[in-house]
Amino acid sequence: MKVSTRIVTGFGILLALGVATAAYQISIIDHLQTINRDLSQVNLEAAGIVQDMHQDMFDLEDYSRKYFALGGDSLYEQELSGIRGDFTTDLTRLESKARTPREREALKQLSRSWDDFWRTFGLEKARLTAHPDNESADLPPSLQLALEKINENTVAILAAVRAGIREQTDAAAIDSARARAVSMVAGAISLLVALIVAAIVVRAIADPLRQLAQGTRRISKGQFWHRLPEDGRDEFAELAHDFNVMAQRLGELDGMKKDFVSHVSHDLKAPLASMRQVFHLMLQQIAGPLTEQQHRLLQLSSNSAERLSAMVGNLLDVSRMEAGSMEYTMQPNDIAALVQSVADEFEVQANERGIQLKVNRGPDAWAECDRDRIVQVIGNLFENALKFSPDHSAIVATITVTDAHNVEVAVADSGPGVPGDHKQKIFEKFHQVKQGRKIAGQGVGLGLAICKTIVEAHGGAIWAEDNPAGGSIFRFVLNATTSPASTQAAQSISMTG
């Protein structure tokens, strides 16, 4: 599934949950509005009707009592007729607003008792008409009983209406609580789904991006064999495929470059060796005497051939290092003696420019190393120092044994120094620090890269730092060891003991 499809699907799920929750909330709100409408328009109106009927009951009893007390006065009979009509109308209205079985049953009982009252009233009226002398200040007992029955049923209907109001209020509260619970659950589910969708989407994007970033860093370091997984059918799988094609092509180009450099460097060695030999013979005037100008020109050509030979040698070393075919012969060596021997080789060049070479050495600076390769490292450091040091300055090499049982070699010069952002980059292949005009014989930027590879192959480290007196200090460390003489002496003492 494509990343865009995952994002759309995830947000679609969240949108569906939101719509469903909103629809449920709307339905609950409509239900609550219906309950409120019933309470306000039906139940409360019914309660008002019952209150009116209750008031009619008091008037009914009062006028009935007066009617019979006055021997059937027509004025009170008219009032009773009006009350009968109002009560019957209220009873009809109340029946249309009944909502619960309890209300309907109470209304049925009230209607029956109401009919019974008027049937009894008719009988008592006929008796009063037949015996007008039987006047009494009280209601006939049968009417009193019928009134009490009506009153009892009126109270019952009022209680039923109030009970209906309470039931609807409780139902509204239950629905409200249910809506609140559903909202909380829906919110929690939406949050959980959102977190899950976000995690899935973030992972679908972050993991391929992390792999791509890692692959880009490895390609930038020259690891062209690195490949990204092409699983899936999303955009990142397509990007990984294109990345792998690019890495393969870069690997092929890098291989072609290495082969070219290796073959060209190897093919240049033989003619360069012949040129150097010819220059050497001619400078020795074996082929005949030379004038001063001829000797100077031949010396310049010989120096150029030496530099070219050194460049070709560096290219061959880089090719062997990249191919992993560089071999090391590890033996105990006196590092101080190696530094001194290299300083002696550069003594003539230093004297021509008035540069003083100093070697500060301590005792027992021995390390397990390949002698020729470490001489190559020291020679590159001295050569760099001579290139960048001004005339009539000093180059100081210091050899010490650190507390960590390492032999440290430091070569300090008085040159322009190395900018802070270049102190690591100068150990990369073909990297050069551009400071003003190019220095003659500066090279192509392979010497320090070779030094770094050789020192790290020995388990050491190399770095550059600022010289407090001006210029730079290049340091490298090797694992210290004991001298063969000390080892033999210790073995002799052990055997003697």
What's the pLDDT at 197?
Answer: 76
Domain of 268, CATH number, reads 1.10.287.130
Q: What pLDDT is recorded for position 161?
A: 76
242 and 123 housed in the same domain: no
- Label the pairing between strands 461-466 and 356-361: unpaired
**Domain final position from 321, 337, 354:** 321
- Name the least confident of 34-38, 172-176, 183-187, 445-449: 34-38
Whether residue 29 is contained in a domain is answered as yes
Q: Evaluate if residue 84 carries a pLDDT over 60.
A: yes
Q: Are residues 315 and 335 in the same domain?
A: no
Asked whether residue 276 falls in the same domain as residue 334, the answer is no
Indicate whether 469 belongs to any domain. Answer: yes
- Is residue 115 situated within a structural domain? yes
Does the structure show a pLDDT above 50 at 454? yes
Query: Please, are residues 334 and 293 in contact by the beta-carbon 8 Å criterion?
Result: no
Same domain for 109 and 16: yes
Among the three residues 199, 227, 262, which one is the final residue of a domain in this structure?
A: 199
Q: Say if residue 255's pLDDT is above 90.
A: no
* Burial (CB count <10 Å: 0-12, 13-18, 19+), residue 321: middle
Q: Are residues 179 and 240 in the same domain?
A: no
pLDDT at 396 over 90: yes
Task: Answer whether residue 415 shows pLDDT above 80.
Answer: yes
> β-pairing, 356-361 with 394-401?
parallel
Note the pLDDT of residue 263: 63
CATH number at residue 428: 3.30.565.10
Which pLDDT score, from 0 to 100, does residue 123 have?
Answer: 86
Residues 341, 301 share a domain: no
Q: Which domain holds residue 282?
A: 235-321
- Residues 187 and 108 occupy one common structural domain: yes
Q: How confident is the model at residue 321 (pLDDT cuts 50, 70, 90)?
A: low
Higher-scoring residue by pLDDT: 137, 173: 173
Q: Does one domain contain both 263 and 336? A: no
pLDDT value, residue 495: 47
Does residue 218 fall inside a structural domain? no
Q: Is the pLDDT of residue 41 over 70?
A: no
Domain boundary among 274, 306, 321: 321
**Is residue 455 included in any domain, yes or no?**
yes
497 lies in some domain = no
Q: pTM (2 decimals)? A: 0.49
Q: Return the CATH number at 160.
A: 1.20.1440.210
Count how many domains the chain has: 3
472 and 387 within one domain? yes
Q: What is the mean pLDDT of residues 76-104?
A: 82
Q: Is residue 222 part of a domain?
A: no
Question: Is the same domain home to 51 and 155?
Answer: yes
Going by pLDDT thresholds of 50, 70 and 90, the confidence category of residue 240 is confident
Examine residue 228 and state whether it is found in any structural domain, yes or no.
Answer: no
Task: Tell me: do 459 and 391 sit in the same domain.
Answer: yes
If asked whether residues 184 and 293 sit together in one domain, one would say no
